[in-house]
């Protein structure tokens, strides 16, 4: 039985019932005669064809288990609604973000510490999941599968033509932008009309300039965003000098198209944009480098987060069958199938060559010099993307102070219950500020 707090919390947000989608079984799971049925629901609609191919391959090679992978539209809404009715799939596909944190906190996931293939997962991605825990948990609750990365995309042909070198420090980066401008080329494109795009350079800067456990530290009362994000905010603002005039007038689609057409040398976005850019210019030679946020290259960290991971539901009736599915999904050939069609970075250790576009960040991946997207820890109600956009539009002398103060104020507002819960845990555990 799941914790009632989740049921009540979700019920306040969603309507129950079976009318939302035909994929919802309302407690009646389809069965394959003579086989154990394992149902996976994935939030990655764009990967539906790939997962269907993988499921078909599994079913062809297994007589005892039948695997179904559904990738419905608005999967998270569907899942939350099913959870209200206590109608659970066996496994879900989810990103490493606040949805994962909330589901884990509600006690929905099974501990998979005894899954043998976990030992093959890159430690950086297991650490990211641990950092998403509101309250420290014993055990492991997700199998990281594929990750993305965000830094700076650049036009490799343009760089070669002009003799520009990819920078490794903040000073080298700003000097490069100045040089590019002096040669009559626009250094960067943003597309900040879509507020979420403001998070791309913000995250890529913050992972190198702020502690990966910053949000937990704020919840514990050991620091503030005003202190921790000061340099990130400063450098975020400084980027505007090198982008398109009035960047909030242009959307994500506009930015992808402009970069594809050579209207800027670089683009502050994640690897997820590559497919859209190439839909405009299939022959574009794109490279990626880690955002050089610091004055020492050794202090820079690649912004990479879990895009796809598998979580076994605590309600799963046949955990061993679920484990057999996960072992198949974690086979090298299966992972290569996924990456070849969907792109990204393998969360599993081993020989998984990065795409040509991501070769520039390979040293960071190989050495686990990676940290999660900071916004994976932000509550959606806080609308941090819109806050950043407003800050970038604010030309007043106290713009940074106003922005950071609001960040701290709104964080307390939207995380009030969570902060109280953490304080209670700390007091019980003997780790409150009063006992230090």
What pTM was estimated for this model as a whole? 0.85
Report how far residue 262's alpha carbon sits from residue 112's, in angstroms, rounded to the nearest whole number: 47
* pLDDT of 33: 66
307 three-class SS: strand
- Among 365, 224, 392, 367, CA closest to 305: 365
* pLDDT of 430: 65
Six-digit token string for 418: 């969570």
Quote the Cα angle for 146-148-150, to 5°: 165
Examine the pLDDT at 23 and tell me if it is beyond 70.
no
Query: What integer is the mean pLDDT of 274-292?
Result: 96
Report how far residue 233's alpha carbon sits from residue 216's, in angstroms, rounded to the nearest whole number: 19
DSSP assignment string, 399-433:
HHHHHHHHHHHHHHHHTHHHHHHHHHHHHHHT-SG
| Residue 13 banded pLDDT, cuts 50, 70, 90 | very low
Report how far residue 117's alpha carbon sits from residue 335's, in angstroms, rounded to the nearest whole number: 13
CA R_g for the chain: 22
Report how far residue 394's alpha carbon sits from residue 177's, in angstroms, rounded to the nearest whole number: 23
436 three-class SS: coil
* pLDDT of 244: 96
Helix or strand (DSSP H, E) at 41:
strand 36-42
Report how far residue 80's alpha carbon sits from residue 78's, in angstroms, rounded to the nearest whole number: 6
Tell me which residue has tokens 């970069």. Answer: 259
Report how far residue 26's alpha carbon sits from residue 78's, in angstroms, rounded to the nearest whole number: 11
- Among 51, 48, 93, 100, CA closest to 73: 48
Quote the Cα angle for 252-258-264, to 5°: 110
Examine the pLDDT at 113 and tell me if it is beyond 80.
yes
Contact assessment for residue 162 and residue 182, using Cβ atoms and an 8 Å cutoff: no
Examine the pLDDT at 28 and tell me if it is beyond 50.
no
| Residue 353 banded pLDDT, cuts 50, 70, 90 | confident
C-alpha distances in angstroms, 430 versus 415, 420, 426? 22, 15, 6
CB atoms within 10 A of CB 328: 19
Contact assessment for residue 281 and residue 261, using Cβ atoms and an 8 Å cutoff: yes
Report how far residue 103's alpha carbon sits from residue 225's, in angstroms, rounded to the nearest whole number: 26
* pLDDT of 343: 87
Report how far residue 258's alpha carbon sits from residue 244's, in angstroms, rounded to the nearest whole number: 10
Q: What is the mean pLDDT of the chain?
A: 91
Examine the pLDDT at 26 and tell me if it is beyond 50.
no
Contact assessment for residue 150 and residue 271, using Cβ atoms and an 8 Å cutoff: yes
* pLDDT of 34: 78
Examine the pLDDT at 1 and tell me if it is beyond 80.
no
pLDDT tens profile 35-91: 899 999 999 999 999 999 999 999 999 999 999 999 999 999 999 999 999 999 999
| Residue 427 banded pLDDT, cuts 50, 70, 90 | confident
* pLDDT of 31: 53
Contact assessment for residue 258 and residue 251, using Cβ atoms and an 8 Å cutoff: no
Six-digit token string for 354: 């990065």
Examine the pLDDT at 32 and tell me if it is beyond 60.
no
CA dihedral 249, 253, 257, 260 (to 10 degrees): 120
Helices 399-414 and 416-429, axial angle in degrees (round to 10): 70
Domains of the chain with CATH codes = 4-148+306-358 (3.40.190.10)
């Amino acid at each position: 039985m799941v914790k009632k707090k989740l049921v009540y919390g979700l019920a306040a947000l969603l309507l129950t019932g079976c009318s939302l989608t035909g994929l919802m079984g309302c407690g009646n799971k389809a069965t394959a005669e003579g086989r154990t049925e394992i149902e996976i629901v994935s939030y990655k609609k764009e990967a539906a064809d790939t997962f269907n191919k993988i499921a078909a391959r599994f079913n062809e090679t297994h007589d005892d288990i039948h695997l179904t992978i559904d990738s419905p539209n608005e999967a998270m809404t569907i899942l939350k609604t099913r959870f209200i009715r206590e109608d659970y799939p066996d496994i879900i596909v989810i990103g490493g973000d606040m949805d994962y944190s909330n589901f884990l906190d509600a006690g929905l996931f099974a501990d998979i510490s005894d899954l043998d293939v976990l030992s093959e997962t890159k430690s950086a991605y297991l650490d990211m999941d641990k950092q998403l825990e509101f309250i420290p948990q014993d055990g492991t609750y997700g199998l990281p599968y594929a990750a993305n990365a965000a830094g700076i995309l650049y036009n490799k042909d343009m760089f070669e033509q002009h003799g520009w070198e990819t920078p490794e420090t903040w000073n080298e980066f700003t000097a490069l932008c100045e040089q590019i401008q002096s040669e009559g080329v626009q250094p960067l494109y943003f597309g900040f009309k879509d507020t979420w795009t403001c998070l791309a350079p913000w995250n890529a800067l913050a992972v190198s300039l702020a502690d990966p456990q910053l949000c937990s530290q704020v919840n514990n009362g050991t620091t503030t965003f005003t202190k921790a994000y000061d340099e990130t905010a400063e450098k975020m603002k400084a980027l505007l000098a090198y982008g398109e005039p009035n960047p909030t007038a242009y959307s994500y689609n506009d930015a992808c198209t402009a970069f594809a057409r050579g209207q800027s040398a670089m683009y502050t976005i994640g690897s997820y944009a590559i497919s859209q850019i190439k839909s405009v210019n299939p022959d574009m030679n794109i490279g990626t480098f880690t955002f050089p946020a610091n004055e020492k290259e050794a202090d820079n960290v690649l912004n990479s987060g879990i895009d796809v991971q598998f979580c076994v539901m605590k309600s799963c009736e046949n955990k061993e069958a679920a484990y057999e599915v996960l072992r198949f999904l974690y086979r090298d050939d299966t992972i290569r199938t996924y990456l070849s069609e969907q792109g990204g970075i393998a969360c599993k250790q081993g020989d998984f060559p990065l795409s040509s576009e991501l070769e520039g960040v390979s040293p960071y991946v190989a050495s686990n010099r990676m940290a999660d997207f900071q916004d994976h820890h932000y509550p959606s109600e806080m609308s941090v993307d819109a806050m950043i956009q407003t800050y970038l539009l604010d030309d007043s002398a106290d713009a940074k102070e106003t922005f950071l103060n609001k960040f701290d104020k709104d964080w307390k507002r939207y995380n009030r219950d969570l902060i109280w819960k953490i304080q209670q845990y700390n007091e019980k555990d003997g780790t409150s500020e009063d006992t230090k």
